[in-house]
Structure 1
Amino acid sequence: MTILILGATGFIGQQVLLTLSQAGHPVTGLGRDTTQAGARFSAATWIARDLRTLQQAADWLPLLDGVTAVINCAGALQDGLRDDLVAVQRDAMLALQQAVATRAMPPLLIQISAPENLASAGTAFMATKLEADRALAASGIPHIILRPTVVVGRNAYGGTALLRAIASVPGVLPLVDAESPMNVVHVHDVAQAVVDAVEGRIAPGSDLVLAGEPTRSVEQMARFYRRWLGLADAPVMRLPSTLARPLSIAADLAGRLGWRSPLRSTSIRISGIGVALDEGRRTLTAPDPTLRLATEPAAVQDLWFARLYLLKPLMILTLSLFWIVSGLVPLLDPVTTSLRFGASMSEVTAFTVTIFTSLLDIALGLAILVQPWAKRAMLGMIAVSIAYLAGGTLIEPTLWLDPLGPLVKVLPSILLTLATLAVLEER
């Protein structure tokens, strides 16, 4: 008999899978792309499925054979190119509940949700979470709902990664809503709560907030992370909340292109009210998560990650603009541009090559902005750049001596592309 973990490739899901496995439970992880997680946790069974395709009870039934418990660690912050909140957080979960109810011995369904008092931010994230939670509570099937506050750990993703990035800014801590409460819980304590639920130490039907003690402010957590990264303390630069608005608009647009920025409007709205304890809900408190983090000291790669986190979108945008502009400029006067090929190529051929390569540059510059296409676009940029260097050297080697350096400039472009490709992965 096995335990099925939904969203097992995510930050919480991977830790839940590892902790359950260490406790002796056979585990099966389900995720949209299980390639990397499967390599990390080869002892587990893996199923590559997208929750957006599991919208009917019949879709779930084959996945429940031999399953004693289902742990839902899946979720999405906001709708985007790769995410559909209604499909993932509501409809798929309602279908799962219906499928579980048909079993003669229904498995225990453990839902990793969020504190209910965050609903006051009025986000679709919480609305869809709560619809699934309330349906589960009324379903009559064995279940437990766990509501962790902000989850932190040795690794970082999303909002906690952004906080580390802010903490790494040289000489200053730029913060919006610095005094907002921020209760955090360590991912190990969340995973241990799941083990306790599976092994019967938490009663079925429980609906618990998982929180750490004490609650701190955003500023206090940023200062902690700054010390954790080995940096000297710095004064806080209190930024007006109005500054968050244009940032969230840009982040929401990036979300429509598949980029899951922690600056999207859902995060901004939640951070505006803060993540505090829900006084009206039973709470399972865990030890101070910063004490556990202090036993997991940062290394130089953590500082690299923190500082590259803010640079990564700028690197992608720079590459995009570089290639788009490189394609547009020759199109302003393609005839003159084609003359740079010299006598080695006929006028018609040179003109055709100019138009084709300009359009190719623009296409690659636009493609890198779409997250699912970004990796292939960058590989294309590298291949095309090498082709430009080789072709330019063969056709018109004097271009290497051109004062404007049209060929020389390709080399730093390739290096920037390689650096961006190296930090492209999100989890």
Structure 2
Amino acid sequence: MARALVLGAYGLIGSACARALVDAGFDVTGLGRSSQAAQRSSLPVDWVIRDIAQLTIVEWQDLLEGCDVVVNAAGALQDGARDRLEAIHVTALKALTRAAETMPLRVVQISAAGVAEDASTEFFRSKARGDAVIKRGLSDWVILRPTLVLAPEAYGGTALLRAAAAIPLVQPKVLPDAMIQTVSIEDVASAVVRAARKEIAAATILDLTEEGTQSLATLTETMRDWLGVSPPIFSPTLPDWALRAMSSLADLLGQLGWRSPLRRSAVQVLRDGVRGDPSNWVATGGSPCMSLHETLSRMPATRQDHVFARVYLALPLAIATLSFFWVISGLIPFFDLPGTISILTDRSAPSWLSALAVIGGAVLDVALGMAILWRRWAARAAMGMIALSAAYVLGSLITAPDLWLDPLGPMVKVLPGMMLAGFVALVLEDR
């Protein structure tokens, strides 16, 4: 049985390729850096949990031993707290090619349509440098360059596209004149299998895309119809300055570990347009890639898709609300510390305990409100908010039960805050 190693096998493209290779009879090993993401993928593959950017040539040689094909579906959109484009797209491939240069295996590189060393984004430039590394260092390779990939699952830009299409009553137009081509994940996975079987000649570069092209505005409207969302009442065009401001904020959040699809690289890619040339793929004997409408018809939207689109928008709002609420609630006591402490001392609580509870609680409030903004700590911060709120509830029942008599008082409001933190903790997941 032929053996395949899939890099980034739990990602949107990687997971589909791994499944397709398993169905085609390959013995598949997945390589990724998150054991949790690998477990959630439920793929019938063996896993190696490593960071490809940290692997040495010797370690690559051990991983590649016995492999017939390597599929590189690993990638990142922009530098951030968790990603370095040069390391993922270039450095890792240099070590991989050095390790594989004397081995009888094929490398299938999943790049992106539009890559060039003089492109407008570092994403495309680093992808182009990675493609060049493979072309220089190996003889048996195939480079596949898909356009915007549509799949039953959604991450990043495709998730944002669904979310924008699901906004009730309003359909904001963002870069309405940008021209976009799409490709089905089925077509991408099929191309990977063909390349792995060596049905595509070595040293071949192919764009994977539909023949048609549509504006981003039309694509969003089509996704809205697919989700079954009622036509909008208002369709305002988002000013360019507003989009740039949102991108700047998204870049800042990227330094805290959030991979927002509104970062400058993603917006610039859309601004430039996402297009490819489908003719070379057909010339190799491949069937024409499905059109946008054919792709969507093969994955009809479910209620879960509709809910996901709405939750995708609600999650950042929930996190921002929690952060603001907890930071403000922690700072307010310091404006009148004696008065805040007196709330407990007036109810016969010892002064030292009252001061400790107020000051300690305020510091913890601020710390949790800041921690939830850091992606690595967000879920744990949300659970900490629930635990600390529960402690407040228990403490108030013991020392100040009268505070619960006011239906709009401070203690009653703790309960919805706990529920909101629970929502965030449940919805957050990492790739």
TM score, norm. by length of structure 1: 0.95
Query: Where does residue 61 of structure 1 map in the other structure?
Result: 61
Query: Where does residue 98 of structure 1 map in the other structure?
Result: 98
Instruction: Give secondary structure in 2 for the equivalent of 1:219.
Output: helix
Is contact 1:248-1:268 (8 Å) kept? yes
Counterpart among 391, 395, 405 of residue 409 in structure 2: 405
User: How big is the shift at 1:404?
Assistant: 5.4
Query: Where does residue 163 of structure 1 map in the other structure?
Result: 161
Instruction: Give secondary structure in 1 for the equivalent of 2:207.
Output: strand
User: How big is the shift at 1:233?
Assistant: 2.8
- Structure 2 CA distance, aligned partners of 1:99 and 1:113? 20
CA deviations on 1:191-250 (whole Å, 9 max, x unpaired) are: 000000011211111011111131111111111111111123336322222221100000
Query: Where does residue 200 of structure 1 map in the other structure?
Result: 198
Query: Where does residue 326 of structure 1 map in the other structure?
Result: 329
Is contact 1:118-1:126 (8 Å) kept? yes
- Structure 1 CA distance, aligned partners of 2:68 and 2:422? 45
Query: Where does residue 83 of structure 1 map in the other structure?
Result: 83
Query: Where does residue 247 of structure 1 map in the other structure?
Result: 246
Q: 1:227 to 1:111 in 2, by over 3 A?
A: same
RMSD of aligned Cα (Å): 1.8
Is contact 2:116-2:125 (8 Å) kept? no
Instruction: Give secondary structure in 1 for the equivalent of 2:48.
Output: strand
- Structure 2 CA distance, aligned partners of 1:63 and 1:267? 32
User: How big is the shift at 1:405?
Assistant: 1.1
- Structure 2 CA distance, aligned partners of 1:184 and 1:297? 16
User: How big is the shift at 1:277?
Assistant: 2.3
- Structure 1 CA distance, aligned partners of 2:9 and 2:200? 22
Is contact 2:53-2:87 (8 Å) kept? yes
2:288 pairs with 1:290: no
User: How big is the shift at 1:297?
Assistant: 1.5
- Structure 2 CA distance, aligned partners of 1:402 and 1:176? 46
Counterpart mapping for 1:384-423 below 5 A: 384-402=388-406, 405-423=409-427
Query: Where does residue 316 of structure 1 map in the other structure?
Result: 319
Q: Which moved more, 1:396-405 or 1:177-186?
A: 396-405
Counterpart mapping for 1:28-427 below 5 A: 28-41=29-42, 43-54=44-55, 56-103=56-103, 105=104, 107-116=105-114, 121-234=119-232, 236-278=235-277, 282-284=280-282, 285-341=288-344, 342-402=346-406, 405-427=409-431
Q: 1:46 to 1:238 in 2, by over 3 A?
A: same
User: How big is the shift at 1:346?
Assistant: 1.6
- Structure 2 CA distance, aligned partners of 1:42 and 1:211? 26
The amino acid that maps onto 1:247 is: M
TM score, norm. by length of structure 2: 0.94
Is contact 2:30-2:48 (8 Å) kept? yes
The amino acid that maps onto 1:153 is: A
User: How big is the shift at 1:42?
Assistant: 5.0
User: How big is the shift at 1:283?
Assistant: 4.3
Q: 1:384 to 1:361 in 2, by over 3 A?
A: same
The amino acid that maps onto 1:356 is: G
Is contact 1:7-1:74 (8 Å) kept? yes
- Structure 2 CA distance, aligned partners of 1:308 and 1:128? 32
CA deviations on 1:385-417 (whole Å, 9 max, x unpaired) are: 111101110111111124751110100001111
CA deviations on 1:257-288 (whole Å, 9 max, x unpaired) are: 01111000001111111112259x93454121
- Structure 2 CA distance, aligned partners of 1:176 and 1:170? 16
Instruction: Give secondary structure in 2 for the equivalent of 1:344.
Output: coil
CA deviations on 1:158-198 (whole Å, 9 max, x unpaired) are: 11111111111112320121121110000111000000001
Q: Which moved more, 1:202-211 or 1:42-51?
A: 42-51
Is contact 2:168-2:230 (8 Å) kept? no
- Structure 1 CA distance, aligned partners of 2:411 and 2:238? 43
- Structure 1 CA distance, aligned partners of 2:296 and 2:277? 24
Query: Where does residue 285 of structure 2 map in the other structure?
Result: none
Q: Which moved more, 1:341-350 or 1:375-384?
A: 341-350
Is contact 1:60-1:99 (8 Å) kept? yes
Q: 1:401 to 1:74 in 2, by over 3 A?
A: same
Instruction: Give secondary structure in 2 for the equivalent of 1:207.
Output: strand
- Structure 2 CA distance, aligned partners of 1:345 and 1:370? 36
User: How big is the shift at 1:116?
Assistant: 3.1
Q: How many aligned residue pairs are there?
A: 423
Q: Which moved more, 1:29-38 or 1:408-417?
A: 29-38
Query: Where does residue 9 of structure 1 map in the other structure?
Result: 10
> Which 5+ residue runs of structure 1 have no aligned equivalent?
none
- Structure 2 CA distance, aligned partners of 1:160 and 1:343? 55
> Which 5+ residue runs of structure 2 have no aligned equivalent?
283-287
- Structure 1 CA distance, aligned partners of 2:99 and 2:396? 62
- Structure 2 CA distance, aligned partners of 1:348 and 1:51? 53
- Structure 2 CA distance, aligned partners of 1:153 and 1:43? 19
Percent identity reads 42
Q: Which moved more, 1:13-22 or 1:231-240?
A: 231-240
Instruction: Give secondary structure in 2 for the equivalent of 1:147.
Output: strand
- Structure 2 CA distance, aligned partners of 1:119 and 1:138? 15
Is contact 2:17-2:192 (8 Å) kept? yes
